[in-house]
């Protein structure tokens, strides 16, 4: 059962553009929503995370928007750079933060 649905599967933007990656979840018990970034040949690494008690979180050029009623959250990358080219995974977990359910990933390419 796919508990975290992620779209799009791939995304190409020009440098300076604002790619947006969307995720939707089903389990209302989820209470922690991290985003992971993965470069080719590397393991995923935590990028930014949000709790459902806030609607937005910013860290540098990365912003998570969270809509609890719609059970959706999204990642926005401001002023995207070629170095942001990577695969991005949304994820969700509940109580204890241990078992994390990952989305299917979005491969982002930022063209110079």
Interface with another protein (CB under 8 A): 32, 34, 41-46, 49, 89, 93, 96-105
Nearest CA among 38, 44, 29 for reference residue 92 = 29
**Nearer residue to another protein within complex by CB, 8 or 16:** 8
**Nearer residue to another protein within complex by CB, 19 or 103:** 103
Shortest CB 75 distance to another protein, Å: 16
Q: Tokens representing 15?
A: 């440098």
Which residue's structure tokens are 């995304």?
11
Shortest CB 35 distance to another protein, Å: 12
**Nearer residue to another protein within complex by CB, 7 or 101:** 101
Q: Tokens representing 103?
A: 């989305």
* Rounded CA Rg of the chain: 13
């Amino acid at each position: 059962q796919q508990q975290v649905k992620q779209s799009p599967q791939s995304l190409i933007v020009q440098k300076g553009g604002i790619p947006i990656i969307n995720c939707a979840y089903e389990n209302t018990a989820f209470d922690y929503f991290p985003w992971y970034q993965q470069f080719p040949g590397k393991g995923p690494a935590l990028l930014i995370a949000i709790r459902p008690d806030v609607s937005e979180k910013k860290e540098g050029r990365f912003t998570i928007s969270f809509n609890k009623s719609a059970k959706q959250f999204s990642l926005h990358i401001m002023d995207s750079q070629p170095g942001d080219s990577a695969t991005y995974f949304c994820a969700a977990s509940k109580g204890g933060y241990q078992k994390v359910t990952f989305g299917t990933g979005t491969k982002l390419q930022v063209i110079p």
